[in-house]
Amino acid sequence: MNKIVREHYPVANLPEDLREGFDAGAIVKVVIEVEAPAISREALLRSVIDAKPIAAEDLMEMRRKLLSDGRPSVTMEEAVARIRELRDEWDY
């Protein structure tokens, strides 16, 4: 993403529509960023439709690699308990 930052920029150098609400002698920080183009609902839907599903063999290989990392398999209740424990740490 393109971004331009100008610190300590004189308000007097800004275009007139941007000077509104500022004292003429004020100094400001100007940040200009290029916005990402908005994606239409149709384009988003088309990207989902065009996405190819993962082959079953590839999915099983990814699962095998994940399990071989030594990560324990947990039940839904264990997962919920862990999440609640982590969340509750912030309550104190």
pLDDT digits (tens, 9 = 90+) for 62-83: 888 877 877 677 888 999 999 9
The model's pTM is 0.40
The stretches of the chain forming alpha helices (DSSP H) are 16-19, 41-50, 56-68, 76-88
Question: What is the pLDDT at residue 10?
Answer: 95
Place of tokens 């039940």: 75
pLDDT of residue 19: 92
Residue 49 has pLDDT above 70, yes or no: yes
| Per-residue pLDDT, 22 | 92
Q: What CA dihedral angle connects 78, 82, 87 and 90, to 10 degrees? A: 150
3-state SS, residue 4: strand
Q: Are 45 and 14 in contact (CB under 8 A)?
A: no
